[in-house]
Structure 1
């Protein structure tokens, strides 16, 4: 079974005096791009989560967000006003520069500032942080499992779509083979007629040489190899879908080969029916290639 690169999972948890919310999402990408937004005062947590995600996914733009709130009684935390002022000044400068360049930023939230190191003078001890980190790490596998389950479900639906498109490509390839066989006799008659016309209107022409040239033209117009390669690519694509796993890159390469053969078929068709089939092939191949971009 193949996996989609599209997925989402969320979860909540708490360990007094903290509560938190996770969000893990991904979209398609050429490689694996991990973007983590984790409070920096939880030392070592981001590196550990990054390592876990790298083991769970092989491709996709993956974004993890962790928001933590502290539920102490009022006055239990002493705000570091100098740190707050510095953070607000930096934020103001960023927004000013962005506005000058016509860049629109998402609104900032108080929780964003809370996660910054040194924002509070009083707070958790190192032991408290260690317990929190341990709890967060123990919760994380369930989040990843839910995330992977969604990617798997998306992949199952995607596999059905790709299988249907391969069926269509196979049917069109068979149709193209029939038209190619049907035109052989017409092409042979045309070559014989052209050979006779050339010999009748050319003094001193070498009949053997003329026949050779016409035979070369016939070979260049032959689409047997293109049709055979299309059929072979269908088999290879089905094998990859059956194999499952991280086959997105291989499928993407196959789509390039599919497109190459369809283009050549259209260029060499010399037949209205064959050209129509070639154009239909190109349309289905383009649709399939778009879907393949989402395969891990």
Structure 2
């Protein structure tokens, strides 16, 4: 049974509630040449960024991945209320000066001072990093699992389509292989008849014709290119069936296939081979575009 391949595009979401804390993790990715990961998380979780990235990279090897992590708390123990005493005293002192200068007195100086910015602040209490990490992991793993599952489904669909295109290429290569020797035979017949017409029916030197045909056959011979394309098609299937991180391998292989098809096109001296080569190059280009999305 062949192993799976993965697309580089995907989405996954995970949630976990533990001890009055809710963690939400969302992941999404697009194509990228390397493994480029951006993690956006609350400042209170900043110390966990490296551990989060390492855990994800055990499963994600290529693509531009954005990870969003949010953290809510429902416990009063997670909240710390702070009073800036010096700032409050300064505000109260200024309020007293205002009273004396304008003759306006208030019984609510304390209430007014408390409303000024930064006098009373509410912050999330410092938590033990390991406790937070243990609560975050289930949400993170769920998001990664769904993310990888989606990439796998899309990757397998791409694999099927690439293999279908590979079979079409195999058919076209077979057509070129079958047609190539017939082109030489037809050329020999045309050359012989043309020379007879030019010479008024006089027999032509067989050695002269043989030499011309040999030059023509050598110039238009595509046996090596056809053989290499057949080998590349076997490798294409083997790489896809092997699964895993196939993108870069296939990218190199498709470059080689494209090079062989270009060579056949440059040597083509027959309309049927030309047509087959045009379609061959088209199918290779379609595969090239698809493998840009494989991990």
TM-score, with normalisation over the residues of structure 1? 0.74
Residue 34 (structure 2) aligns with: 31
Instruction: Measure the CA separation in 1 of the matches of 2:27 and 2:65.
Output: 7
User: How far apart, in 2, do the equivalents of 1:80 and 1:284 lie?
Assistant: 70
The corresponding residue for 1:236 is 235
CA distance in 2, matches of 1:141, 1:36: 15
Instruction: Give the distance between the partners of 2:83 and 2:259, measured in 1 at CA.
Output: 63
1:219, CA displacement in angstroms?
1.2
Query: CA RMSD of the aligned region, Å?
Result: 3.2
Aligned equivalents of 2:218, 2:252: Cα separation in 1: 28
Q: Secondary structure at the match of 1:264?
A: helix
CA deviation after TM superposition for structure 1 residue 269, in Å: 1.0
Question: How has the CA–CA distance of structure 1 residues 258 and 127 changed in structure 2, closer, same or farther, with 3 Å as cutoff?
Answer: same
Give, in angstroms, the shift of residue 259 of structure 1: 1.2
Per-residue deviation, residues 99-124 of structure 1 (Å, max 9, x unmatched): xxxxxxxxxxxxxxxxxxx9x94433
CA shift at 1:190, angstroms?
Answer: 5.1
1:11: Cα distance to partner? 1.8
What is the aligned partner in structure 1 of residue 63 from structure 2? Answer: 60
Q: Return the offset for 1:32.
A: 0.8
Aligned in 2, Cα 1:209/1:188: closer, same or farther, shift over 3 Å? closer
8 Å contact from structure 2 (residues 221, 267) kept in 1 = yes
Does the 8 Å contact 1:195/1:210 carry over to 2? Answer: no
Unaligned runs of at least 5 residues, structure 2: 85-117, 200-205
Q: How does 1:1-296 map to 2 (within 5 A)?
A: 1-71=4-74, 121-127=121-127, 130-189=130-189, 215-296=214-295
How many pairs were matched up? 250
Report if the CA contact (8 A) 2:232-2:253 is conserved: yes
Calculate the TM-score normalised by the size of structure 2: 0.74
Cα 1:172/1:124, change in 2 over 3 Å: same
In 2, are the aligned partners of 1:195 and 1:214 still within 8 Å (CA)? Answer: no
